[in-house]
Amino acid sequence: MKWPSHGGQPEALRESLGFPMSSDVIDFSANINPLGPPTWMKKELGKHFTELIKYPDPTYFKARKSLAFSEDLQPDQVLVTNGGAEAIFLIAKLFEGKQAIVVHPTFLEYERACFHYHLKVKDAFFSLDEEFDLPIDKMIMECKTTDVMFLCRPNNPSGTIIKEETVRRLLIEGKKHNTYIVVDEAFVDFLPGEEASLSGLLSDYENLIILRSMTKMYAIPGLRVGYILADKKIIKQAGDGQIPWSVNTLAANFIPGMVEDKLFLEKTKTWLQTELTFLREELDKLNFYMSSTHVNFYLLRDREFPMETDLLFKHLLKAGIVARHTFNFKGLDGHFLRLAVRSSHENKVLLEALKNWRAKQ
């Protein structure tokens, strides 16, 4: 069977499974904020329509200024990109032909971007328990022979966070060997607390490169908004490799409004904490493993039948629930499912389907 390579493709699944799926399936495979996009964005669409007859400002100054201001950085430390995906490829391009490490299981695009720019890629692996610890001693040793390390924090697909202290150890060692540490913070806005991001470390570590995506929090995968935060030399170099006007006018114009909408962030975090607490308790009662996620998705595995994830996936599909398979996440090999945290009602539908699965055993 041919599995789709990313989440959010229920149609592709339907085709490859040849499965009778009703059209009103609930898509738990894409980890997009169910509260979004913020309502003001829809209202403002018309306002920005007239701007479409102009090219975007090629320097995206207003967007960069608002992002820099919110991170306490300078605008020349920010590069606006066509989604987090473009940020990943622009960063890989900086290290063309050099040596990289990717820590698995993680987002697939680091490896793809590295291959695209002919980097040599070594694999490292998180510990496969609830916490997904980084193999820090091994990675510190590898600094000597590695030009760039890709970390995802919070990590997709587990939702777990590498401790700040651990990243700091890598940055210190990396500094000695000219090793850059890339931290993908695509999901950082979902974390509780103010100091969740590592952007405060940029002033001390020139070898830190942070990338972000606005896609997930603001539920705008079709708009394409991401950015890189780094030392200004890196930003200049990455920008030199970017296609002109890569970010469209609409996306650039929406950035300041999104950055300022703190209320939407707070509303999302409140929803998420309530749902996560509920899901954790209920899944535990049903004896399902749930990764120690801090964000809007998690890994799930049946503790009682850990080798039957395939059957569980199909059981959920029959109940109208699309999960994200994990066959193409190195180290997971299909033995887990990744599920999004969705609305209270939808999470209850999922739990009901899991209860039925348990009752059938």
Binding site for ligand PLP (CB under 6 A): 83-85, 107, 152, 156, 184, 186, 213, 215, 221, 226
Q: Which is nearer to ligand PLP, 33 or 215 (CB)?
A: 215
Q: How far is the CB of 352 from ligand PLP (least distance, A)?
A: 28
Q: Considering the complex, what minimum distance in angstroms separates the CB of residue 139 from ligand PLP?
A: 19
Shortest distance in whole angstroms from residue 211 CB to ligand PLP: 7
In the complex, residue closest to ligand PLP by CB = 83
Contact, 51 vs 254, CB < 8 A?
Answer: no
Q: CA-based angle 326:330:331, to the nearest 5? A: 90
Structure-block tokens of residue 146: 């590695």
Q: How far is the CB of 88 from ligand PLP (least distance, A)?
A: 6
The rounded distance, in Å, linking the Cα atoms of 83 and 151 is 18
Separation between Cα atoms, residue 304 and residue 194, nearest integer Å: 38
CB closer to ligand PLP, 29 vs 353: 29
Q: For the CB of residue 183, give the shortest distance to ligand PLP in the complex, in Å.
A: 11
Shorter beta-carbon distance to ligand PLP: residue 301 or 324: 324
Q: What is the rounded distance in angstroms from the CA atom of residue 264 to the CA atom of residue 189?
A: 11
Query: How far from 308 is each of 189, 284, 314, CA to CA, in Å?
Result: 34, 18, 10
Burial (CB count within 10 angstroms: exposed 0-12, middle 13-18, buried 19+), residue 43: exposed
Cβ of residue 297: shortest distance to ligand PLP, in angstroms?
9
Q: Which is nearer to ligand PLP, 226 or 331 (CB)?
A: 226
Nearer to ligand PLP, 223 or 321 (CB): 223
Q: Where do the DSSP E strands lie in the chain? A: 26-27, 78-81, 99-104, 120-125, 148-152, 180-184, 208-213, 226-229, 288-290, 297-302, 321-322, 337-340
